[in-house]
């Protein structure tokens, strides 16, 4: 008989954690984050977890307190004799720091991987890493879920007549090509050049978009500058409509203003990060079912291959 499953969360995204637990068939476990006057905090599990499969649902989006909460919860679970500790990280922060792209900088995603392992995590479940090779930074198993499993059914229901997929930059081409292949659809690329972070100097479209219904796909929407500029350029080049699908709604700076004033028909995002405000152009799809199935299959030692819809390419 397998040890029981207990799901806990910190403060990064409790609403999503509740949805995951509900889809799994559990209630969230009881944990308290004690806060002190000097700014320190301390997680305390309010129930026994000895020998249990413990799943800690906690994204590492800003502020950095979310990461620290996760590390402390892992350490507390280890010291409370949990049988197996899995860090469920819907949004893996610092993932854009995956290489040394200039002198004297940190490789933040490698450091986070080391910290999670050192704290005592036995496994990580995450979604749409900005750079998939980050999985190799870990010396523990990583289940890397793919948002295409929930985006593809939504796109199918749109029944777009002249469907064409677009990558907002060269770095997203592999991700977009996989989805385009599933639909046997064409793909174009918006090639951008940056002067500095979050500031686009120039952009060109590679491919024909005349009279096409464009679907932009990306993993992170930060300031929405790239996304909205890509959408505007695609419409200028003759596209009939443009909508976007982004997994992680970071939405910093003027993101909401950029989205609301854009030519996008809609922006579909996941609930890996809670929204700061609502927008008529933003639609949220929950990843709760996907993570709940991953947790169940992991606990029961079953494969999670069925969660990757894009691997089952549609035949024409």
Q: What is the pLDDT of residues 206-235, one digit of tens each?
A: 999 999 999 999 999 999 998 999 999 999
Environment class of 37 (CB within 10 Å of its CB; exposed 0-12, middle 13-18, buried 19+):
exposed
pLDDT score at 316: 35
Active-site residue, from 6, 110, 192, 229: 192
Residue 39, classed as helix, strand or coil, is: coil
- Residues in the chain with pLDDT < 70? 1-2, 192-202, 309-316
Task: Enumerate domains of the chain plus CATH numbers.
Answer: 5-146+289-307 (3.40.50.2020), 148-285 (3.40.50.2020)
Q: Hey, how many other C-beta atoms are within 10 angstroms of the C-beta on 62?
A: 14
Establish whether 192 is a catalytic residue. Answer: yes
Residue 171: its pLDDT value, please? 80
pLDDT of the residue at 305? 84
pTM of the model: 0.93
* Residues facing 123 on adjacent strands: 86
- Using an 8 Å Cβ cutoff, are 48 and 4 in contact? no
């Amino acid at each position: 008989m397998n040890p029981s499953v207990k799901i806990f969360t910190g403060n990064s995204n409790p609403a999503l954690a509740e949805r995951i637990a509900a889809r799994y068939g559990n209630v969230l476990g009881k944990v308290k984050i004690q806060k002190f006057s000097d700014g320190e905090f301390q997680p305390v599990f309010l129930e026994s977890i000895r020998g249990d499969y413990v799943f800690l649902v906690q994204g590492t989006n800003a502020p950095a307190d979310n990461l620290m909460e996760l590390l402390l919860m892992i350490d507390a679970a280890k010291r409370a004799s949990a049988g197996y500790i899995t860090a469920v990280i819907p949004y893996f922060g610092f993932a854009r720091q995956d290489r040394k792209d200039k002198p004297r900088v940190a490789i933040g995603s490698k450091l986070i991987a080391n910290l999670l392992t050192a704290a005592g995590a036995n496994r990580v479940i995450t979604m749409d890493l900005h750079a998939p090779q980050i999985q190799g930074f870990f010396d523990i198993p990583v289940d890397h879920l793919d948002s295409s499993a929930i985006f593809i059914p939504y796109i199918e229901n749109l029944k777009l007549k002249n469907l064409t997929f677009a990558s907002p930059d060269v770095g997203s081409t592999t991700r977009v090509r996989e989805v385009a292949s599933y639909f046997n659809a064409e793909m174009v690329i918006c090639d951008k050049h940056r002067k500095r972070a979050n500031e686009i100097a120039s952009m060109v479209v590679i491919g024909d978009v005349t009279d096409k219904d464009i679907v932009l796909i990306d993993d992170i929407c930060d300031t929405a500058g790239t996304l909205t500029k890509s959408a505007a350029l695609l419409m200028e080049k003759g596209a009939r409509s443009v909508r976007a699908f982004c997994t992680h709604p970071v939405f910093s700076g003027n993101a909401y203003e950029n989205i609301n004033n854009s030519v996008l028909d809609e922006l579909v995002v996941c609930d890996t990060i809670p929204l700061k405000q609502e927008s008529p152009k933003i639609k949220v799809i929950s990843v709760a079912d996907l993570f709940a199935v991953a947790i169940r299959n992991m606990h029961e030692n079953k494969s999670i291959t069925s969660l990757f819809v894009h691997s089952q390419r549609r035949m024409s």
